[in-house]
Amino acid sequence: MLKTARLLLALLLVPCLPCLAAPPVKVGFYDFPPSIYTDADGFPQGPMVEVVRKVFARAGYRLETRSLPSARIYAGLQNGSVQVWLGPAKEQLSEHVLVGRNRLAEIVLNLYYRPDTPEPRLPDDLKGRALVMLSGYNFVPDISRYLEAPELGIVQHRTSTHRAALEMLLRQRGDYLLDYAMTVDSAARELGVPVPPHVELLRLPVYFLVSRHQPDAERLLEALDSAYEALRAEGEDLVVTP
C-alpha cells in the first residue's frame, strides 16, 4: 500500500510528464509596446509575455518565444512553424487555428487626428487624405475595405514603429493615424506629448490561437485555457493594461 501511495503522489506532482519531455512549443510575438517588445538580445519581453510564461509553466509545457513580423506569424500558423499566438480571431486564419475560450486582453483600434483639425466624419473625411499606418499590420475586413476603396482614394504612408507613426502625424506628414490605443499611449509617453484626439473604430478581444497544423492541437489549447483559468481562480494577476 505504501509503495502504491508513493507512486500516486509522484504522478500528481508531475501532471504532464509527456508535455515536459516534448520539444518546446513555438510561440510567436510581434512588437506591441508596452505589452510586448523585443529586447536588446532579440527576445520578446513585456507583461503579456510574462502572462504566457506563467500559463505555460502551469500547463506543464516548455515554450520557445520568437519575435517575428506579423506576416511571418500568420504564415507560421498556417503551416505549423508557429504553434501559438496571442491575438484576435482573424478571419484569414479561421481555417488554420483553434481559438481559446478565455479573453486574455482587449485591444482598441483608433483613428487619430491632430488637435488643430476637426474630428473626422467617417468615411467621407478620409477621401483623398494621407493615412499613417504601421508596416506589416493587417486589419479586419471592415477596416481593410475602407483602406482599399477606390472611391475614397486613401494615400497610405507606412512606417516601422509606433513612435515614428505618431511623429509623422504630429509633423503633418499625414492627415490621420490608424493605430492601437495601447501602442500610441506608449509612444506619446516616450515623446512627452499628449495623446492626440481620436475616434474609436473597434475593440478586439485577444485569445490563445493554436495552429491546427500540429499533433494534439486540441489538447494543447485545452491545457493552456485550463491553466489560465486555474491561475485566475488562485488570484494571480493576469490583467495586461497600458
For the segment 139-193, what is each residue's pLDDT rounded down to a tens digit? 777 788 888 889 999 999 999 899 999 999 999 999 999 999 999 999 999 999 9
Specify the pTM.
0.83
Q: Which residue has the cell 509617453?
A: 189
Low-confidence ranges of the chain (pLDDT < 50): 2-14, 18, 242
Spatial distance between the Cα atoms of 206 and 181, rounded to a whole number of angstroms: 14
pLDDT of residue 241: 62
Spatial distance between the Cα atoms of 56 and 22, rounded to a whole number of angstroms: 13
**Across the chain, how many H-helices and E-strands are there?**
8, 11
What percentage of the chain reaches a pLDDT higher than 90? 74
pLDDT of residue 145: 84
